[in-house]
Chain A
Amino acid sequence: MTPKATTPAQDVLRGIWRENPVLVQLLGLCPTLAVTNSVANSLAMSAATFFVLLGSSVLVSSLKRLVPNEVRISTYVLIIATFVTVADMALEALVPAIHKALGAFVALIVVNCIILARQEAFASRHSVGRAALDAVGTGLGFSIAMLLMGTFRELLGNGTLLGHRIFGTAFEPWVIFALPPGGFLMLGIILLFLSWTARRRAEQAKVRPWPEGVAERKAA
């Protein structure tokens, strides 16, 4: 990936939608599926990942001249592991119940490929400021995907949202969506829906011809 001239706004926006780490690049699927059975868990996981991503991007970017090329991946992993340890301990101290629910998956942020990918592809080649912006964008993109999954799974699997009952008592929860298979199914449904809308848009663009003059102006 060669660094193209991008504006700071693009650095942030890119990660949120067009290059969304989960929904488009399909990275970091483990946490997306494993801890999204409720909105609260999704939020905690997103916050922890956001923190680790931002911290390591800033540190990697500021150390980029000091790290020898041969050992750069190991160095990145070390930096990430340090931030994850901090996040793990912070969650344990601040929200013990959620830390317990997330279990080993907080520690497993270390091997979340999104974080390593951003270090290798962006933070190690750009200034601290831009690395931070990129981390914010990617972190937000990850959080959006996590919350999307968490909202639907809690709503359908439990009939609640952040623990508040949304549907009436007559609603029979689809427990399956709160269980492991529901994670696969929900992400599958979301991806199929996205692929369907993308195809539809492509077809509509094909069917509708350009208005008079626009095609010529484009070609010119």
Chain B
Amino acid sequence: MGDLLWILISAMVVNNFTLTLFLGLCPFMGVSSRVATALRLGAADTFVLTLASLSAWFLNRFVLPGAPYLRLISFIIVIASLVQIVEMVIKKVSPTLFRELGIYLPLITTNCAILGLAIFQTNRGYTLLEGLFFAVGAGAGLTLALVLMASIRESTELADLPAVAQGIGLVLIIAGSLSLAFMGFAGLGMAG
């Protein structure tokens, strides 16, 4: 049980997908100007991450032992179709939620965090349960990073910034400082 908890916390803060491993940066830069949207995207991400972890485990267990060189190709196809299916199901079951998530769902396909999760999980040889904890932790970490970033960006809107510092350059510097702060969690690894 301790191992599972450690996987969760490690994926969430110590090896935060966005701030330490640089996965899922596109939405981090693009969709992080409002806290509400950041939360929603984070939730959608976590959901797809969990499904991706399940399917990666399934592929690794039953399909890929016979053809390891197809790993990457099969992962990306499964993730792409998974997102499409999730999109269709949500559209059918809950049109309101579908409208709220809107463009973010299809965008998740090209989110490197999803493929990254599948690959990390394979490289580390996680079991089904470990993979699920890993996915939930990674999703929570992504959401945390997105929300932190969005809250900071909401406050920079009111700040009196020099003209040259407006735009993506500043966002990167803020991300750097956040990443620096998250390095503090690395000490947890030694204790665990």
Interface residues of A (CB under 8 A from B): 26, 29-30, 33-34, 74, 77-78, 81-82, 84-85, 88-89, 103-104, 107-108, 110-113, 116, 176, 179-185, 187-189, 191-192, 195-196, 199
Shortest beta-carbon distance, B85 to chain A, in Å? Answer: 14
Q: Which of B32-40, B128-136, B175-183 contacts A (4 or more CB under 8 A)?
A: B175-183
Structural contact, B172 and A108, CB atoms closer than 8 A: no
- Interface majority SS on B: helix, strand, loop or mixed? helix
Of listed A85, A111, A176, A189, residue having the most chain B CB within 10 A: A111
Residues of A within 8 A of B164 (CB): 192, 195-196, 199
Structural contact, B115 and A110, CB atoms closer than 8 A: yes
Structural contact, B180 and A176, CB atoms closer than 8 A: yes
Q: Can you show 22 pairs from A to B with CB atoms below 8 A apart? A: A29-B25, A34-B21, A74-B77, A77-B76, A82-B73, A85-B69, A85-B71, A108-B23, A108-B115, A110-B76, A111-B110, A176-B180, A180-B20, A185-B173, A188-B173, A188-B176, A189-B173, A191-B167, A192-B164, A192-B169, A195-B164, A195-B169
Q: Considering only CB atoms, which chain A residue lies closest to B20 in the complex? A: A180
Residues of B within 8 A of A29 (CB): 22, 25-26, 29
Structural contact, B20 and A104, CB atoms closer than 8 A: no
Q: Considering only CB atoms, which chain B residue lies closest to A85 in the complex? A: B72
Structural contact, B115 and A111, CB atoms closer than 8 A: yes
Q: Which 6 A-B pairs have the closest CB atoms?
A: A188-B172, A184-B176, A185-B176, A192-B169, A191-B169, A181-B179
Q: A78 with B77: in contact, given A30-B112, A184-B175, A195-B167 (CB under 8 Å)?
A: yes
Question: Which residues in window 40-96 of B have CB below 8 A to A?
Answer: 69, 71-73, 76-77, 80
Structural contact, B112 and A180, CB atoms closer than 8 A: no
B103 contacts chain A at the CB level, 8 A cutoff: no
Q: Select which of B26, B69, B112, B172 is within 8 A of A185 by beta carbon.
A: B172
Residues of B within 8 A of A195 (CB): 164, 167, 169
Q: Which of B3-11, B116-124, B151-159 contacts A (4 or more CB under 8 A)?
A: B116-124
Q: A84 with B72: in contact, given A108-B116, A181-B179, A181-B183 (CB under 8 Å)?
A: yes
Residues of A within 8 A of B71 (CB): 85
- Give Cα A85 to B173, complex, Å: 34
Q: Considering only CB atoms, which chain A residue lies closest to B16 in the complex? A: A180
- Give Cα A89 to B70, complex, Å: 12
Q: A192 with B165: in contact, given A29-B25, A82-B73, A85-B73 (CB under 8 Å)?
A: yes
Q: Considering only CB atoms, which chain B residue lies closest to A199 in the complex? A: B164
17 further A-B contacts with Cβ under 8 Å, apart from A180-B179, A188-B170, are A26-B29, A78-B73, A78-B77, A82-B73, A103-B123, A110-B115, A111-B112, A112-B112, A180-B19, A180-B20, A180-B22, A180-B183, A184-B179, A187-B172, A188-B171, A189-B169, A195-B167
